[in-house]
């Protein structure tokens, strides 16, 4: 019997918020004492450490209507990434922590509490690398396998003796400006903060993602061979059957499923799975399923690419899909898995986005070389764009900021965020 992903996703969001509070609290605690030590300990810029120190003072001010640290902590997406390798796990298993620098020794209790909470959270998902990737962006199945085979108590005790945090912040000064420097003076809603945080991407990470996507698109796809007569019996792997059932639950047609999966599955098998899903839905009619319907009078591509908010959502789903692909999941299965999470926790009831529209507007055109990945030098975010739908501003974050849906960064930070600005290219990722 398969596990229901909805409670698991909800647990991941809770763990993300708990660790957000721990990480943000640790950075602010060190920044209160010394911004230069905070920058050195957490690997951030001095200006970002200064921002955290000022936000800590604002949070302590009871007359202020805004608590920026609490708003960051309640963001339903990790504002950090786990930085662990198999060698780190082996060192912790041997009980080796290493000495800290003399001027950073006084912050060891803060680092100890943070690392212990990080290790405890990862151990909870040691046998589920996909959920670990969802919680902390750890796209390494080898690390999770090493942690599952190690002694839990030894890892927790050794993590408290490490001189450095096991996590690194992904937020930057521009992100803080986007979510806090609004015209109303109030931070943007949690969903928008979450989507924006998911698309944050440094230049080196963007190059690695682009290279991996180029290699994936360059691989020849296996064409489906249609045979006349009685179809041969083919046993579907459990993972493939689960993906097809997810597609059926979201109302994707049989023809679209066959084109999307490109696996050795025939229409008769899809019809049997669809019949089983209909019977189960009739029995469990009291279960509130996600309604994927959208007005069918609109073109699917225009419905997706004509809205900056939807383009931001699409890029967030793509960013999570790339992490799942790095764990060895097939691209189409990772695409459905990423959509499941965002359909549950980031769905706008007044303006939903169905999985069938997402496949026809994003996944299929990307295979055809019509959807490209770009990087914004002002925001430090990646974004997807379609050749046939140009809206003037490629970056959805910049477009939302133009219409005052997000804040605008200062001229200094906008021009000094990246060491080398990237000129947006119209060339497809796949030659």
pLDDT digits (tens, 9 = 90+) for 43-91: 999 999 999 999 988 888 766 677 888 888 888 888 888 888 888 888 8
The predicted pLDDT at position 296 comes to: 41
DSSP code string of 93-114:
HTT---PPPGGGGGGHHHHHHH
Q: Summarize the confidence of residues 183-195 as an average pLDDT.
A: 78
Q: Is the pLDDT of residue 299 over 60?
A: no
Residue 372: what are its φ and ψ, rounded to 5°?
A: -125, 155
User: Residue for token digits 């604002």?
Assistant: 58
What is the CA angle 360-361-364, rounded to 5?
Answer: 55
Give the per-residue pLDDT at 297: 35
300 band by pLDDT with thresholds 50, 70 and 90? low
Q: What pTM, to 2 d.p., does this model score?
A: 0.77
**pLDDT-based confidence at residue 148 (cuts at 50, 70, 90):** confident
397 neighbors 381 (Cβ within 8 angstroms): yes
pLDDT score of 265 more than 80: no
Region 244-260: what's the mean pLDDT? 76
Specify which of 88-102, 316-330, 396-410 reaches the highest per-range mean pLDDT.
Answer: 316-330
Mean pLDDT of the region 260-274? 71
pLDDT at 431: 30
Give the pLDDT band of residue 417 (cuts 50, 70, 90).
very low
Most confident option among 64-73, 247-256, 293-302, 369-378: 369-378
Q: What is the pLDDT of residue 367?
A: 83
Question: Which of 280, 281, 271 has its CA nearest to residue 244?
Answer: 271
- Show Cβ contacts of residue 52 under 8 Å, excluding neighbours closer than 6 positions: 24, 27, 28, 31, 35, 38
Residue 293 — pLDDT band, cuts 50, 70, 90? very low
* pLDDT reported for residue 236: 64
pLDDT value for 41: 93
Average pLDDT, the chain: 77
Least confident of 46-50, 100-104, 198-202, 303-307: 303-307
The SS3 call for residue 72 is helix
Please state the rounded mean pLDDT for residues 10-33: 88
* Whole-number pLDDT of residue 37: 94
Q: For the chain, give every domain's residue range.
A: 5-171, 191-219+296-416
Residue 288 banded pLDDT, cuts 50, 70, 90: very low
Pick the most confident of 1-5, 39-43, 338-342, 386-390.
39-43
Q: State yes or no: pLDDT of 329 exceeds 80.
A: yes
Q: Distance (Å, rounded) from C-alpha 125 to C-alpha 116? A: 15
- pLDDT for the residue 50: 93
Which helix (H) or strand (E) segment holds residue 412: the answer is helix 411-416
Indicate the range of 19-23, 215-219, 268-272, 367-371 predicted with least confidence: 268-272
Please choose, from the candidates 404, 367, 362, the residue with its C-alpha nearest in 3D space to the C-alpha of residue 384. 362
pLDDT at 426: 43
SS3 277: helix
Residue 120: exposure state from Cβ atoms within 10 A (0-12, 13-18, ≥19):
middle
Q: Percent of the chain having pLDDT more than 90?
A: 13
Q: What is the predicted pLDDT for the residue at 331? A: 86
């Amino acid at each position: 019997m398969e596990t229901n992903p909805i409670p698991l996703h909800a647990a991941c969001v809770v763990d993300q918020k708990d660790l957000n509070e721990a990480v943000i609290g640790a950075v602010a605690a060190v920044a209160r004492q010394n911004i230069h030590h905070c920058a050195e300990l957490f690997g951030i810029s001095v200006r970002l450490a200064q921002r955290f120190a000022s936000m800590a003072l604002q949070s302590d001010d009871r007359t202020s209507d805004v608590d920026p640290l609490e708003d960051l902590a309640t963001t339903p997406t990790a504002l950090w990434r786990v930085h662990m390798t198999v060698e780190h796990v082996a060192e912790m298993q041997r009980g080796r922590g290493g000495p800290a620098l003399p001027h950073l020794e006084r912050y060891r209790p803060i680092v100890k509490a943070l690392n212990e909470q990080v290790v405890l959270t990862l151990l909870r998902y040691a046998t589920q690398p996909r959920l670990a990737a969802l919680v902390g962006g750890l796209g390494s199945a080898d690390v999770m396998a090493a942690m599952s085979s190690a002694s839990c108590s030894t890892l927790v005790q050794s993590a408290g003796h490490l001189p450095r945090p096991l996590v690194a912040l992904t937020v930057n000064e521009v992100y803080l400006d986007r979510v806090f420097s609004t015209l109303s003076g109030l931070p943007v809603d949690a969903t928008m903060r979450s989507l924006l945080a998911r698309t944050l991407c440094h230049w080196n990470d963007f190059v690695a993602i682009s290279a991996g996507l180029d290699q994936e698109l360059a691989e020849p796809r296996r064409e489906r061979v249609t045979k006349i007569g009685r179809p041969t019996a083919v046993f579907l792997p459990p993972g493939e059957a689960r993906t097809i059932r997810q597609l059926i639950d979201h109302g994707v047609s049989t023809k679209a499923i066959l084109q999307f999966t490109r696996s050795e599955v025939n229409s008769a098998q899809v019809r049997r799975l669809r019949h089983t899903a209909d019977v189960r839905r009739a029995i469990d009619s009291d279960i509130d399923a996600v309604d994927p319907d959208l007005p069918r009078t609109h073109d699917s591509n225009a419905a997706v690419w004509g809205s900056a908010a939807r383009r931001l959502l699409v890029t967030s789903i793509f960013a999570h899909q790339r992490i799942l692909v790095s764990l060895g999941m097939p691209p189409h299965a990772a695409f459905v898995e990423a959509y499941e999470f965002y359909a549950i926790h980031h769905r706008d009831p007044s303006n939903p986005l169905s999985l069938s529209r997402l496949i026809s507007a994003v996944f299929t055109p990307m295979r055809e070389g019509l959807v490209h990945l770009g990087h914004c030098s002002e925001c430090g975010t990646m974004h997807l764009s379609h050749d046939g739908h140009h809206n003037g501003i490629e970056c959805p974050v910049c477009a939302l900021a133009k219409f005052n849906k997000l804040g605008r960064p200062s001229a200094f930070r906008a021009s000094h965020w990246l060491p080398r600005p990237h000129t947006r290219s119209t060339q497809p990722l796949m030659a």
